[in-house]
Amino acid sequence: MKYYYSGKTDIGLEREINQDSFGEANLAWGSIFILSDGFGHKEGGKFASQFAVDIFIKNYSREEPQNIEQFFENSFEEINKFIYFKKVSKYNKAMMGCTIVVLIIKGETAHIAHIGDSRVYIVRENHLQKLTKDHSYVQSLIDKGEILPENAMYHSKRHVLRKCLGSRIKSKPDYLYQPILSNDKFMLCCDGVWGFVSQQKMKEILINNKPSEATVKLIDLVKKNSGSDNITLQVINFT
């Protein structure tokens, strides 16, 4: 299916370094979009997110995956092991790692995998839906019914992750697939976006703007609302 794409990142208003990374590749067998949010050690967090993006593009570009779910699992495990190796061998076991969300477009199907709290949203028929489920402490509270989903973005522990890349423990990603319809709009974003913009505002901007405009307007809105974190997003509109 034909699509229009824009990806952008911004350091935000308070951070000394942008630890986010993103990338995309369009191959004969499909397109891949990756967004990763590094954390912890300044240099190590950036290394983690960029390495995650680079490995996914490298692996996907090498040959067409015969089993996309297995491709996700193998790539996530490769990334996790090497980030942990670097954490121990180069960064003196400093706290570091990354979240990651990946979207593969093959034919008329979107294949999605993620670890952490970077997200994928879809806008279909003027309705915004979050497709991924955060691996976070706050999400566990939502699952238990202790807080409402709309209050999650204001919780003091919303940054606490239950799963990430860079751990000595194997981290299996969540995987799902979504049929693509004409006029569907997808957005990948880090918590520096969804943590500072309401879903209503997200929906309005994604519906009323082409991707290159939507990414700029969302970054500007995040900065107006605080902009205390790095800000990274990718928008894909299908025709």
Distance CA(115)–CA(167), nearest Å, equals 12
pLDDT number for residue 132? 97
Sequence-distant (6+) residues with CB within 8 A of 33 are 5, 7, 22, 23, 24, 102, 103, 104, 105, 188, 234, 236
CATH topology classification for 3-129+161-238: Phosphatase 2c; domain 1 (3.60.40)
The tokens describing 37, both together, are 């949010």
Neighbours of 78 (CB within 10 A): 16
- CA end-to-end span of the chain: 7
pLDDT number for residue 40? 93
Mean pLDDT, residues 226-232 taken together: 93
Mean pLDDT, residues 62-89 taken together: 96
- Which of 120, 122, 144 has its CA nearest to residue 132? 120
Decide if pLDDT at 166 tops 80.
Answer: yes
pLDDT number for residue 149? 80
Decide if pLDDT at 226 tops 80.
Answer: yes
pLDDT number for residue 198? 92
Chain centre to alpha carbon of residue 205: 19
196, 222 Cβ separation under 8 angstroms: yes
- The confidence band for 143, taking pLDDT boundaries of 50, 70 and 90, is confident
Lateral strand order in the sheet of 185-189: 3-10, 231-238, 185-189, 119-124, 127-130
pLDDT number for residue 77? 96
DSSP letter for 131, please: -
Chain centre to alpha carbon of residue 60: 17
- The confidence band for 169, taking pLDDT boundaries of 50, 70 and 90, is confident
Distance CA(220)–CA(20), nearest Å, equals 17
Decide if pLDDT at 170 tops 90.
Answer: no
pLDDT number for residue 145? 84
- Which of 7, 9, 5 has its CA nearest to residue 232? 9
Element (H, E) at 191: helix 191-194
Residue with tokens 């879809």: 122
Neighbours of 50 (CB within 10 A): 18
pLDDT number for residue 14? 94
Least confident of 76-80, 105-109, 161-165, 211-215: 161-165
Least confident of 12-21, 39-48, 128-137, 145-154: 145-154
- Which of 46, 7, 37 has its CA nearest to residue 23? 7
**What average pLDDT does the chain have?**
95
pLDDT number for residue 46? 97
